[in-house]
Structure 1
Amino acid sequence: MKLALLWRREAARHVALSAVIMVLSFWAMARLAPHAPGWAKTADTVWATIDQPVRNYFAAHAQGLPVTAAAIYSLWQAAGLASLILGFFRLSAARLTWIVWGAATVAAVWLGSPEPGRQVAAGIALLAWAALSSLALRGLRLSRPAFVHVDVHNQAPPAPAVEVRAEIHMPKPTPSHYAPYRPPFLPPSPN
């Protein structure tokens, strides 16, 4: 009972602290953006470097489908946002979806970008995906921690009592009057 209550309080504290940090960072960005000329424009052009190739890819490959490219784009955004938020809350399926969504996004940026800047656009998309992955994949460990229990208070068990005896086993001697064949018969010839 106490553990569940402690867990709930800790989760509420964590959510509240995260919300405060996000609000303060948005406030600081709003205060700094007017004083840094071109900052908002740079953010818009970086977003367009990722977003426009994805739109181009969907527009080029949605022809002949019963769904429009705009609907595919909206579904792509919803899947990314949902997997980011649910991955933040450590849902395994959402984390897997986030990984697949990010790889598909980088591939769409690669295929939807014009040739001279294809590598740069895919690199920017990869960096943005890696930065957001720190939220979606937070707390993920690649290997389980090893728990080694060493009991130092008990002494080693006593050595077992071992009895060593040397024995020699000899085969029984065969009697001298033993003959494998009766006298009128001879063994078969090897010829």
Structure 2
Amino acid sequence: MHANDKPINGQHRPNPAKAPLPELPPTHKDTPRITRVRAAWKKSWQQGGFLYRRWEEIFQVRNASWHEIANWIKAAALVAGISVVIMIVNAAGDIAGAALKGLSHVPAVDAGDGSGLWGTVDHPVRAFLAGQAAHLSVAPAALYAFWQAAGLLGLIGGFLGNAGARIAWALFGCTTLAMVWSASPAGGRAAATGLAAVMWALASIIALRGLTLRPIVHNYPPQFQPQFNPTLHLHATLPAPTPAGDDLDDRTRQHPPAPALTPRST
């Protein structure tokens, strides 16, 4: 027993230096990281939390207009759309490049004998393109394939009502007539060109379906009809009202009161 542990009045006095310290609750730094992450995750999904608000914004997209959608959703949609467009353009460029490269190595297309109605139009086109390709760095087969693709796209796109496709179809017909006129024999040039024009006009029934030159007039009543309500505004200046006392004095001056009659004594 130490000196400080001597009994006092028959009782032992504890030594404060040897008394056990109370256990303190664990601080935030002592909490494991996975516990803190789990608690933050649950808190963010509670009502008013960060993830809870983002989920509500995504859920409201189907019933909201473009101006009511959250900005971060608009940005994400624009980035995704631009990325998809870039990927499509890149793939289309690679495909078109490979197709043109393959066509450039194709041997020259046989011009044929030009027999039949279709041969009367097709033979001058083939001959014209073959003669022009000799002065260009492209194969005649590539020019002929491009001419066919332009006509097919103009025909299909015009049937679907696309304005650009119909313009392409008109240019396709004009260039075809020019090539037929240029490459046809001199004796049958007019007949070949006229036959090509008739065939192009018959195909235009499909390509220019629904096209009309008459102006379209819509007789629908306007949604907002302004109402005209004429009003007349009169500005009149009225004199200020006279006080009651002044009015009584004026009438008194104009009409003095009659003298009172005193009865005589008899």
User: Quick check: 1:45 aligned with 2:116?
Assistant: yes
1:107 to 169, 178, 186: 178
- The equivalent of 2:134 in structure 1 is 63
2:216 to 120, 145, 150: 145
**Unmatched 5+ stretches in structure 2:** 1-114, 222-227, 229-266
CA distance, structure 1, for counterparts of residue 172 and residue 205 of structure 2: 15
| Counterpart mapping for 1:90-169 below 5 A | 90-148=161-219
Task: Give the RMSD, CA atoms, in angstroms.
Answer: 2.2
1:75 to 119, 132, 146: 146
| TM-score, scaled to structure 2 | 0.39
| TM-score, scaled to structure 1 | 0.54
- Structure 1 140/55 Cα, relative in aligned 2: closer, same or farther at 3 Å? same
Letter in 2 for 1:64: H
Tell me how many residue pairs correspond in the alignment: 113
CA distance, structure 2, for counterparts of residue 121 and residue 146 of structure 1: 41
CA distance, structure 1, for counterparts of residue 195 and residue 204 of structure 2: 14
CA distance, structure 2, for counterparts of residue 134 and residue 114 of structure 1: 29
CA distance, structure 2, for counterparts of residue 89 and residue 149 of structure 1: 27
Letter in 1 for 2:181: W
- The equivalent of 1:10 in structure 2 is none
- The equivalent of 1:88 in structure 2 is 159
Q: Which has the larger radius of gyration?
A: 2
Helix, strand or coil for the counterpart of 1:127? helix
Helix, strand or coil for the counterpart of 2:187? helix
CA distance, structure 1, for counterparts of residue 213 and residue 198 of structure 2: 21
CA distance, structure 2, for counterparts of residue 121 and residue 110 of structure 1: 7
Shift in Å, 1:63:
1.3
Helix, strand or coil for the counterpart of 2:173? helix
CA distance, structure 2, for counterparts of residue 135 and residue 141 of structure 1: 13
CA distance, structure 2, for counterparts of residue 80 and residue 52 of structure 1: 16
CA distance, structure 2, for counterparts of residue 149 and residue 89 of structure 1: 27
- Structure 1 93/149 Cα, relative in aligned 2: closer, same or farther at 3 Å? closer
Letter in 2 for 1:128: M
Moved over 6 A (4+): none
